[in-house]
A and B are shown apart, each in its own frame.
Chain A
Amino acid sequence: MITIVNYGMGNLGSVLNMFKKVGVEAKVTDNLNEIADATKILLPGVGAFDAAMSRIKAGGFEEILNKKALEDKVPVLGICLGMQLLTDCSEEGVLPGLGWIKGKTIKFSFTRTQNLKVPHMGWNLVKQVNASPLIADFPPDPRFYFVHSYFVKADEEMDVLMRTTYGHEFDSVITNGENIFGAQFHPEKSHKFGMKLFKNFSEL
Chain B
Amino acid sequence: MLKTRVIPCLQLIGDSLVKTVKFNKFGYIGDPINTVRIFNELEVDELCFLDIRATLEKRKPNLELLKQIADECFMPLSYGGGVTSAAMAQQILSIGFEKIVLNTVTFDHPEIIREIADHSGVQSVVGSIDVKKNFWGKYKVYSNDGKRQHDFDPVTWAKKLEQNGVGEILLTSMDHDGTWSGYDTILIKQITEAVNIPVIANGGAGQINDIVKAVETGASAVALGSMVVYQAKGLGVLVNFPDRNKLEEAISR
Contacts and interface: CB of A to CB of B under 8 A. Distances in A.
Contacts of A119: 123, 167
Contacts of B121: 46-48
Interface range for B = 20 to 34
Contacts of B4: 122
Contacts of B196: 117
Contact of A11 (B71, B74, B94, B167): B94
A194 B40 CA distance: 13
Contact of B95 (A13, A188, A194): A13
Nearest to B72: A17
Contact of B74 (A13, A46, A125, A194): A194
A123 B96 CA distance: 18
Interface residues of A, number: 31
Interface string A144-187: 01010000000000000000011000000000000000000010
A13 B96 contact: yes
Nearest to B1: A165
A147 B98 contact: yes
B74 A195 contact: yes
Contacts, number: 79
Given A121-B198, A123-B3, A192 B43 contact: yes
A200 interface: no
A195 B43 CA distance: 12
Nearest to A118: B196
B123 A117 contact: no
Interface string A1-45: 000000000011110011001000000000000000000000000
A68 to B, nearest CB: 25
B75 interface: yes
Nearest to B120: A46
A118 to B, nearest CB: 9
B5 A123 contact: yes
Among B74, B123, B221: residue with most chain A CB under 10 A: B74
B173 interface: no
Contacts of B76: 145, 147, 186, 189
B70 interface: yes
A124 interface: yes
Among B70, B98, B168: residue with most chain A CB under 10 A: B98
B245 to A, nearest CB: 11
Interface in B36-66: 40, 43, 45-46
Contacts of A48: 121
A30 B253 CA distance: 49
A120 interface: yes
A138 to B, nearest CB: 14
A190 interface: yes
A122 B74 contact: no
A145 B98 CA distance: 12
24 contacts: A11-B97, A11-B98, A11-B120, A13-B94, A14-B70, A14-B96, A17-B70, A18-B74, A46-B120, A47-B120, A48-B121, A117-B196, A122-B4, A124-B1, A125-B1, A145-B75, A145-B76, A147-B98, A166-B2, A189-B74, A189-B76, A189-B98, A191-B43, A195-B74
Interface of A: 11-14, 17-18, 21, 46-48, 117, 119-125, 143, 145, 147, 165-166, 186, 188-192, 194-195
